[in-house]
Amino acid sequence: MNVMTRRPARALSSMLTPPQGSMVRWWFLCSAITVVLRTPFINVPLGIDEGGDAFVARAWGTTQGSMYGGSWLDRPPLLVLLYKIGVLGGDRGIRVLGMVAAIMLVAATMAIAHRISGARAARITGAITAVMTSSVVLGAVFTGNELLASVPVTFSIVTLVRARDSSQPGRWLFVSGFLATCALLIKQSFGEVVVAGAIFLLVSWMTRERSGFRAMWIVMWLAGVLTPLLVTLAWFAHYSVGVKAFVYAVVGFRLDSLNLLHRSEQGATYMLVHLGLPIAIVSGCVLLLPWAASWLFEHRTDPQLVLPLGAWLVVGFIGITGGGNYFPHYFIQPVAALAVLSGCALAVTGRRILAVATSAVLVLLALGNVAVGATLKSVDPPQQRTLAVSAYLRDNSRPDDSLYALYARANLLYYADMHSNYPYAWSTMVRALPDAERQLRTMLRSSSRRPTWIVEWQEPTAFGLDRSGETRRLIASHYVQVDNICGKPIMIRKDESGRPLKAPPPATCATLDLPRHLGPDASRNPSDGAEYLWQ
């Protein structure tokens, strides 16, 4: 039997040993916990970001004009591709996509912990991951960009730690680099494993007598990093998407929107104090951070392991702070790193009482998350305005009708199931892009591109826009209000106003009175901002 035959045999044998079988059973248990915690929310309507991404993904390939057909999106193509797959199953398909991602994260974090600290650490890590990736406070029970991007990030770390003791580390490093770029192609702020991989190679080179470093390691890792980029560039060339436009969408626009945030009355500091810190505390992230830091400190004599893992954690938190916003779902980014490092620390600590207390608090947080979320969902179901308005529009629209939500309500476009001639579905785009307001007015002036319906979700003067009053005058000239659903004026083109319209269905509208600062799209109704808790 040659070496290539023996290696798979040994791998299969090790998988069938009792410890590995125990890990598989524990993974099934943690996966079941994940499913149970997420199931109460599987039928919650898609939030603003989820619905907007689903709208773009569903229309991608059916329209022309921008990077994703008729829509402009500041997100890389792999995210849209994943949503394109999920939306085949409708709302529930998107939810199942998130559930699969959470289960994969449990497997990946357990694999890392088992590799670096053993079975006990893997079991604790799996439980923590199941709880944290199903947190209502973090919005992790839904299918956020951060949850999806965390999967390739964490599996990239799996391959990185496997490369440490592999007889052929090059192939593991190739996969690690490949997955690192895939994470960036889902959400551009997830660069932690690119940094971790580079640090791993640097430390390996500096300790080459002990690590057995070879220059081919760098070549293989860079090949992995570049492969997804080359595929993306080939896509650009095939669909005539400009590289410059893509770079602005995923990098330049983020800088412009950050500048916009700093100029606003409620800037990054306000968001951090009033939203970020409470979320970090209530979700359990702050509780896990000291354990993670203690494990890194205690293993500081192994820089090839500790420095990449430390970069995974630290750069993850930088990814949150770098955007200036502190919405709940942003805090999903460091969850996998926190789960692994704190799980490893809890597995070996001699402070049993403290470890038990930490575990008990995590359990209470999990149960409390689900209880509060389920109660909130029952008392005041989220997205009720969106569903009521979209139901009215679907009942009264014709196949060729188009829709514009002023200035933005991305999931309304998804639920109304009408195309839009305006490429910007989020208010930040209208505010940050210098040409967006001019494009809006050009559309309203055009008899061929003017949308059939306008929903005035925000007033024309919201966010300091329409200072000249031109947008308001154009709407008044070409549209007539036909109804008001949950406080949202519904308007139709004057040349279509003669069509018979059905009466609106009985609507149950959200009534939670939460602060407007929780969401930048909040304007007319206080609970518009509250719905960002369901992102």
Query: DSSP secondary structure string, 149-209?
Result: HHHHHHHHHHHHHHHHT-S-HHHHHHHHHHHHHHHHTT-TT--HHHHHHHHHHHHHHHTHH
CB 225 within 8 A of CB 180: yes
Tokens read off for 394: 């679907």
- Dist. CA 313–CA 425, nearest whole Å: 32
- φ, ψ of residue 247 in degrees (nearest 5): -60, -40
Reported as a pLDDT band with limits 50, 70 and 90, residue 484 is very high
- Say yes or no to pLDDT of 410 above 50: yes
- pLDDT tens per residue, range 375-384: 766 666 788 8
Q: How confident is the model at residue 436 (pLDDT cuts 50, 70, 90)?
A: very high
Using the 3D structure, point to which of 353, 378, 403 is the last residue of a domain.
378
Q: Which pLDDT band, with edges at 50, 70 and 90, does 208 fall under? A: confident
Do 211 and 98 share a structural domain? Answer: yes
- Is 531 a domain residue? no
Is position 248 within any domain?
A: no
The number of distinct structural domains making up the chain is: 2
Q: Decide if pLDDT at 66 tops 70.
A: no
Would you say residue 259 lies in a domain? no
pLDDT above 70: residue 499: yes
For residue 294, is it within any domain?
Answer: yes
> Comparing 88-92, 127-131, 501-505, which segment has the lowest mean pLDDT?
501-505
The span from the CA of 69 to the CA of 155, in Å, is 31
- Same structural domain for residues 305 and 411? no
Q: Which of 41-55, 130-144, 145-159, 416-430 has the highest mean pLDDT?
A: 145-159
What is the C-alpha to C-alpha distance for residues 162 and 51, in angstroms, rounded to an integer? 38
Q: What pLDDT score does 460 carry? A: 93
What is the rounded CA–CA span in Å between residue 288 and residue 284? 6
Higher pLDDT, 355 or 339: 339
- Average pLDDT for residues 49-68, to the nearest whole number? 81
Residues 6+ apart with CB under 8 A from 444: 450, 471, 474, 475, 478
Quickly state the pLDDT bin for 126 (edges 50, 70, 90).
Answer: very high
Tokens (6 digits) for 324: 């200036």
pLDDT recorded at residue 168: 87
Output 22 or 472, whichever has higher pLDDT.
Answer: 472
Lowest mean pLDDT across 135-149, 243-257, 417-431: 243-257
Exposure letters 163-195 (e unless 16+ CB within 10 A, then b) = bbeeeebbebbbbbbbbbbbbbbbbbbbbbbbb
Residue 117: the pLDDT is 93
Q: In this predicted structure, what is the pLDDT of residue 323?
A: 65
Measured distance CA(166)–CA(116) in Å, rounded: 14
One-letter amino acid at 525 equals N
The mean pLDDT of 289-303, rounded to a whole number, is 93
HSE-CB for 440 with a 13 A CA cutoff: 28
Residue 254's closest CA among 200, 191, 305, 204? Answer: 191
Average pLDDT of the residues in 223-239: 86
pLDDT band at 267 (very low <50, low <70, confident <90, very high): low
Same domain, 357 and 459: no
Question: Is 227 inside a domain boundary?
Answer: yes
Q: Are 341 and 334 in contact (CB under 8 A)?
A: no
Per-residue pLDDT for 534 more than 60?
Answer: no
Q: Residue 47: is its pLDDT beyond 80?
A: yes
* Start-end of H helices in 264-383: 268-271, 277-283, 285-298, 303-321, 335-348, 352-379
Q: Tell whether 162 and 205 lie within a shared domain.
A: yes
Residues 196 and 222 placed together within one structural domain of the fold = yes
**Per-position b or e across 294-322, b if 16+ CB within 10 A of its CB:** bbbeebeeebbbbbbbbbbbbbbbbbbee
pLDDT tier at 67, thresholds 50, 70, 90: low
Question: Which carries the bigger pLDDT value, residue 365 or residue 66?
Answer: 365
Answer whether residue 7 is part of any domain: no
For residue 39, how many other CB atoms are within 10 A of its CB? Answer: 14
Per-residue pLDDT tens digits for 88-117: 999 999 999 999 999 999 999 999 999 999
Is 532 a residue whose pLDDT tops 90? no
d(CA 17, CA 14): 5
Structure tokens at 128: 């923590």
Residues 6 or more apart whose Cβ sits within 8 Å of residue 331? 138, 276, 279, 280, 283, 285, 320
Of 347, 378, 409, the position where a domain reaches its end is 378
- Strands 403-406 and 453-456 come out as parallel
Mean pLDDT of the chain: 84
Q: Which residue has the higher pLDDT, 114 or 70?
A: 114
| Nearest in space to 228 (alpha carbons), one of 176, 159, 302, 289 | 176
Question: Is residue 262 assigned to a domain?
Answer: no
Give the integer Cα–Cα distance in Å for 419 and 415: 11
Residue 347 pLDDT level (bands cut at 50, 70, 90): confident
Average pLDDT over residues 146-170: 93
Domain boundary among 338, 353, 378: 378
Question: Are 298 and 395 part of one and the same domain?
Answer: no
pLDDT mean over 338-361: 81
DSSP labels for 442-473? HHHH-TTTS-SEEEESS-TTGGG--TTSHHHH
- pLDDT-derived band of residue 253, with 50, 70 and 90 as boundaries? confident
Q: Do residue 407 and residue 345 come from a single domain?
A: no
Please give the pLDDT value at position 278: 84
Q: Are 241 and 67 in contact (CB under 8 A)?
A: yes
The pLDDT of residue 528 is 39
Residue 128 belongs to some domain of the structure: yes
User: Rounded to whole angstroms, how far apart are CA atoms 45 and 388?
Assistant: 12
Task: Place 48 in a pLDDT band, splitting at 50, 70 and 90.
Answer: very high
Q: How confident is the model at residue 507 (pLDDT cuts 50, 70, 90)?
A: low
pLDDT of 209 over the 90 cut: no
Q: Based on the domain organization, do 449 and 315 belong to the same domain?
A: no
- Greatest mean pLDDT among 33-37, 165-169, 252-256, 259-263 lies in 33-37
Among 259-268, 380-389, 405-414, 465-474, where is mean pLDDT lowest? Answer: 259-268
How far apart (Å, rounded) are the C-alpha atoms in residues 280 and 302? Answer: 29
What angle is formed at CA 378 by the lines to CA 333 and CA 32, rounded to 5 degrees? 50
pLDDT at 258: 75
Q: Which domain holds residue 493?
A: 384-509
Q: How far apart are CA 532 and CA 303, in angstroms?
A: 40
Q: Which of 171, 150, 147, 148 is nearest to 159 (CA)?
A: 171
If asked whether residues 127 and 142 sit together in one domain, one would say yes
Contact 128, 347 (CB under 8 A): no
Q: What is the average pLDDT across 487-509?
A: 85
- Do residues 326 and 272 share a domain? yes
165 and 45 in a common domain: yes
pLDDT of residue 241: 67
The pair of structure tokens assigned to 222 is: 């860079």
Least confident of 13-22, 61-70, 207-216: 13-22
Q: 315-335, pLDDT tens digit by residue?
A: 999 888 766 678 888 999 999
The reply to whether 49 and 146 lie within a common domain is: yes
186 or 240, which is more confident? 186
pLDDT at 173: 96
Mean pLDDT in residue range 358-381: 71
pLDDT of 514 > 70? The answer is: no
Distance from the Cα of residue 212 to its chain's centroid: 38
Query: Residue 522: is its pLDDT beyond 70?
Result: no
